[in-house]
Amino acid sequence: MRYPFSEIEFKWQKNWEEQQVSKTNLTETSNKLYCLVMFIYPSGAKLHIGHWYNYGPTDSWARYKKLKGFNVFEPIGYDAFGLPAENYAIKTGIHPYDSTMTNIKDIREQLKQMGCMYDWNAELMTCVPEYYRWNQWLFLQLYKKGLAYRKNAPVNWCPNDKTVLANEQVQADGTCERCGSLVIQKNLTQWFFKITDYAEELLKGLDQINWPEKTRLMQRNWIGKSIGTEVKFKVENSSDEITVFTTRPDTLFGVTYVVLAPEHPLVAKLTKPEFKNGVDKYIDSVKSLSEIERTSTIKEKTGVPIGANAINPVNGQKVPIWIADYALLTYGTGCVMAVPAHDERDFEFATKFNLPIKKVILKSGTKPEEIPAEAYTEDGIMINSGEFNGLKSSAGIEKVSDYIEKNKLGTRKVNYRLRDWLISRQRYWGTPIPIIHCPSCGEVPVDEKDLPVELPYNVEFNPGGESPLTTNKEFINVKCPKCGADAKRDPDTMDTFVDSSWYYFRYLNPKVDGKMFDTSLTDNWVPVDMYVGGAEHATMHLLYARFIHKFLRDLGYTKSDEPFSTLVHQGTITNQGAKMSKSKGNVVNPNDFTLKLGSDVFRLYLMFMGPYELGGDWSDKGIAGTERFVLRTYEIFKRFPDILLKANSKEKFNIPELNSEEKIVYRKTNQTIQKFDEEINNFRFNTAIASLMEFINELLKNIDKCSDEMKAYALRRFGTLLAPVAPHLAEECLEIIGSKESIFGKPVWFAPDTEALIEDKVNLAVQVNGKLRATIGMPNNSDQSYVKEIVFADEKIVKYIEGKTIVKEIFVKNKIYNLVVK
């Protein structure tokens, strides 16, 4: 290959490092731009196509912003704790610390070869005590506010990874987000962060951030706000009450039975002796089902009556109490009022068990006495509802709720689907939870001055269901800080999503000692202006980080409400339709291309493949195209060495004075500046690069007939536009034509000459009855009367309108002339 990429890339990477062009002056904040990619998980797989696809184009965007005059901060780091390193240790015996450090070393080298302008002074990794002690500190702050707490609850357990998982880490099909094994339910005592306290704010904040609509919607659905009313039902011959939650108080008169979740504490108390046998049997049968089986919507609903009756507070009607697995203990009150006529699930259940169906909402166009074939869940007019008859549903919801509250039968309530974040993990390679369990004092938080609780090196990795930390006696056995008695440390570690919930603060000064992060810097630099990463984090990392950010704000550590002002998701690159993964054996190694073609060619190709947000299936078929583009670019610059020094530099040309080739080149140069800027600014890299290809095509055709001034003008601009997307190549090209220093050391960008954007000739489409019949060249901005004359003289058009009546003429300047004829 005639383009010596390896020398050129080495040369400029060295130059950038020596000149420190990627080091950000953090004290200059008036034009600050914090551009961040999701940090990298240092697994044995090293850098793969997905990383390149995330980092390369984002770096191009950041470089573009830098050339435009922004003070860009672009850091990178390592999400270094986590399961895969530990699983690797179990398999190979290599300690997670050792494998992680080796991987980081390799990955750092690979990242440098990409040629991104990362500020290496800001590099961080989460697996060192200087970092993770602040996870522990954060935990203690949450604990103090009651937002970190321990409870026994049914939780998700991954039998393969031998740890519990948060709700967000279980996929729709009930499998583990990390390893794909089927997750089971266990009752365990675990640590939770009370993210639900922030549910409303997390929901509202979505309106103020510039995120993809899709992602905001996913978070909205995940938070799942629902507005309704809790209603108390008295139990016949009992002092107990059953509280149900409903979003449809207007259907309260239609209740024909009440359902409790099988695990509900009232079940044992309320079950009549003669029903006990059936109820116990039923509860057993429910327990034996997996979560997926149980919550499957396809499965037929099951349930049994418990023999007791509830009393409908609005009409005094006695209705039977059932238990059924479609009532979930974890949502609302765990009790449901069943209105079969107006709820699909209740309808299905009532039909199966022959329970009465009572219509209380009239669908318009139907009669009250008609027997419904299915539940009617929309709005209608209330019937069979006493004093509320005749009200519309929407009004009924309010009126019935008013009535309930006035008569102390219940209260309005907002429920969220969001559950608290389960953060303990029965694994080794993570942040130890800073709690000591004392037989007499209970759970005792580690004193802040005793942080970090260091993760010991020596443990047994595969203790079979127990946390590995229990195998290190020195670690686990401590004295209670309160009473001095023998006590034990909490053996669990934190979910690694805790690490990633605040790392963007730490980047500004990862070496800062004595505090989580340096607020003198973060106050000016956070929020992150541009955050780029995969959409798969929509309801995990991106939700957790927003929560922790708001918590830190409430403690006074940041002034901003949101961590990431603008978010962009790169698409996923698949291979033969499947996600790339080691287990599937379809991972494409970027080195195969970078070693052969250079990093600029590879970066250009990734950007040129298609829309960034879409990703797509991997194919190297078109890479020859970007390779040729790079070659042609390099060669055209080589033809004009030092042209910048030889020619008088001009910033603007007078178009009428130019010859026809110069006109073409001048126009194309400025049109490309305009187009490229617009496209790359919006992450449309594919069309940005296409515009550069068009540009060089015109240059190659016309440059020999241009003056030296025009050559210098066009080539300088071409090199500049090229710089964000092919940084090494562009630096070299600019140097060839006489540039003396790195463009990134001294940023330059050009504004287009607006006069050059206008073509003096345009092709106008002439249509007859909407069909294209001719295209006619016209001076730019010709008016209708002028165009009309030419159109009506055109023989092709005359052919179509001869002998016909012209009904209408439509003229759009510079675009079309449409004749409607009969």
One of 4, 69, 154, 616 touching RNA (CB under 7 A)? 616
Helix, strand or coil, per DSSP, at residue 248: coil
Least Cβ distance, residue 728 to RNA (angstroms): 20
Q: 334-363: which residues touch RNA (CB under 7 A)?
A: 334-337, 343, 345
Q: Is 556 exposed, middle or buried (0-12, 13-18, 19+ CB in 10 A)?
A: exposed
Q: 499-538: which residues touch RNA (CB under 7 A)?
A: 535-536, 538
Nearest residue to 315 via CA among 386, 400, 218: 386
One of 129, 205, 224, 456 touching RNA (CB under 7 A)? 224
**Rounded to whole angstroms, how far apart are CA atoms 591 and 572?**
19
Least Cβ distance, residue 799 to RNA (angstroms): 8
One of 221, 366, 589, 681 touching RNA (CB under 7 A)? 221
> Which one of 473-481, 583-591, 595-603, 810-818 is the stretch in contact with RNA (CB under 7 A)?
810-818
Cα angle 536-533-727, degrees, rounded to a multiple of 5: 150
Binding mask 573-612 for RNA (x = CB under 7 A): -----------------------------------xxxx-
**Rounded to whole angstroms, how far apart are CA atoms 686 and 691?**
9
Least Cβ distance, residue 224 to RNA (angstroms): 5
Bridge-based pairing of strands 816-821 and 761-768 is parallel
Residues in CB range of 696: below 8 A, 6 or more apart: 629, 632, 633, 636, 718
Least Cβ distance, residue 266 to RNA (angstroms): 13
Helix, strand or coil, per DSSP, at residue 755: helix
Asked if 619 interacts with RNA (CB under 7 A), we say yes
Asked if 377 interacts with RNA (CB under 7 A), we say no
One of 285, 411, 576, 763 touching RNA (CB under 7 A)? 763
**Rounded to whole angstroms, how far apart are CA atoms 718 and 87?**
50
Least Cβ distance, residue 5 to RNA (angstroms): 15
Query: In this complex, which beta carbon is closest to RNA, that of residue 480 or of residue 764?
Result: 764
> Which one of 92-100, 132-140, 291-299, 501-509 is the stretch in contact with RNA (CB under 7 A)?
291-299
Asked if 796 interacts with RNA (CB under 7 A), we say yes
One of 94, 328, 444, 748 touching RNA (CB under 7 A)? 328
Asked if 16 interacts with RNA (CB under 7 A), we say no
Q: Output phi, psi for 23, to 5 deg.
A: -85, 125
Least Cβ distance, residue 810 to RNA (angstroms): 4
**Rounded to whole angstroms, how far apart are CA atoms 67 and 61?**
10
C-alpha distances (whole Å) from 790 to each of 759, 783, 793, 802 are: 20, 11, 5, 16
Asked if 779 interacts with RNA (CB under 7 A), we say no
Asked if 53 interacts with RNA (CB under 7 A), we say no
Cis before 452? omega within 30: yes
Asked if 222 interacts with RNA (CB under 7 A), we say yes
**Rounded to whole angstroms, how far apart are CA atoms 167 and 196?**
13
One of 268, 485, 793, 810 touching RNA (CB under 7 A)? 810
Asked if 541 interacts with RNA (CB under 7 A), we say no
> Which one of 109-117, 305-313, 320-328, 519-527 is the stretch in contact with RNA (CB under 7 A)?
320-328
Sign (positive or negative) of CA dihedral 58, 64, 65, 71: positive
**Rounded to whole angstroms, how far apart are CA atoms 170 and 290?**
14
Rounded to 10°, the helix 599-608/623-638 angle is 120
Gyration radius from the chain CA atoms: 34
Helix (H) or strand (E) holding 798: helix 795-801
Looking at this protein, which amino acid is placed at residue 747?
A: P
Which residue is listed with tokens 């500190």?
137
One of 697, 741, 757, 798 touching RNA (CB under 7 A)? 697
Asked if 331 interacts with RNA (CB under 7 A), we say yes
Binding mask 59-98 for RNA (x = CB under 7 A): ----------------------------------------
Sign (positive or negative) of CA dihedral 624, 630, 634, 637: positive
> Which one of 399-407, 524-532, 622-630, 721-729 is the stretch in contact with RNA (CB under 7 A)?
622-630
One of 52, 81, 157, 245 touching RNA (CB under 7 A)? 245
Asked if 456 interacts with RNA (CB under 7 A), we say no
Query: In this complex, which beta carbon is closest to RNA, that of residue 414 or of residue 483?
Result: 414
Asked if 622 interacts with RNA (CB under 7 A), we say yes
State the distance between the two ends of the chain, measured CA to CA, in whole angstroms: 63
> Considering CB under 7 A, how many residues would be counted as binding RNA?
91
Residues in CB range of 573: below 8 A, 6 or more apart: 49, 50, 53, 580, 615, 616, 617, 618
Q: Output phi, psi for 810, to 5 deg.
A: -115, 130
**Rounded to whole angstroms, how far apart are CA atoms 520 and 574?**
42
Query: In this complex, which beta carbon is closest to RNA, that of residue 507 or of residue 629?
Result: 629
Q: 177-216: which residues touch RNA (CB under 7 A)?
A: 213-214
Q: 257-276: which residues touch RNA (CB under 7 A)?
A: 261
Pseudo-torsion of CA 435, 439, 441, 443, nearest 10°?
A: 20
Asked if 793 interacts with RNA (CB under 7 A), we say no
Least Cβ distance, residue 632 to RNA (angstroms): 5
Beta bridge partners of 437: 443, 488
One of 81, 629, 713, 718 touching RNA (CB under 7 A)? 629
Contact by Cβ (8 Å): 503, 126: yes
One of 29, 109, 204, 217 touching RNA (CB under 7 A)? 217
> Which one of 359-367, 470-478, 741-749, 758-766 is the stretch in contact with RNA (CB under 7 A)?
758-766
Asked if 740 interacts with RNA (CB under 7 A), we say no
Query: In this complex, which beta carbon is closest to RNA, that of residue 160 or of residue 247?
Result: 247
Asked if 539 interacts with RNA (CB under 7 A), we say yes
Asked if 432 interacts with RNA (CB under 7 A), we say no
Buried b (16+ CB within 10 A) or exposed e, 197-208: bbbeebbebbee
Query: In this complex, which beta carbon is closest to RNA, that of residue 526 or of residue 696?
Result: 696
One of 541, 684, 716, 728 touching RNA (CB under 7 A)? 684
Cα angle 376-380-384, degrees, rounded to a multiple of 5: 85
Please count the other Cβ atoms lying within 10 Å of the Cβ belonging to residue 295: 13
Asked if 417 interacts with RNA (CB under 7 A), we say yes
One of 110, 586, 686, 707 touching RNA (CB under 7 A)? 686
Nearest residue to 259 via CA among 318, 307, 303: 303
Nearest residue to 386 via CA among 372, 396, 398: 396
Query: In this complex, which beta carbon is closest to RNA, that of residue 187 or of residue 477?
Result: 187
> Which one of 57-65, 201-209, 325-333, 398-406 is the stretch in contact with RNA (CB under 7 A)?
325-333
Helix, strand or coil, per DSSP, at residue 372: coil
Q: Which two tokens stand for residue 327?
A: 């009532």
One of 295, 366, 477, 681 touching RNA (CB under 7 A)? 295
Least Cβ distance, residue 197 to RNA (angstroms): 17
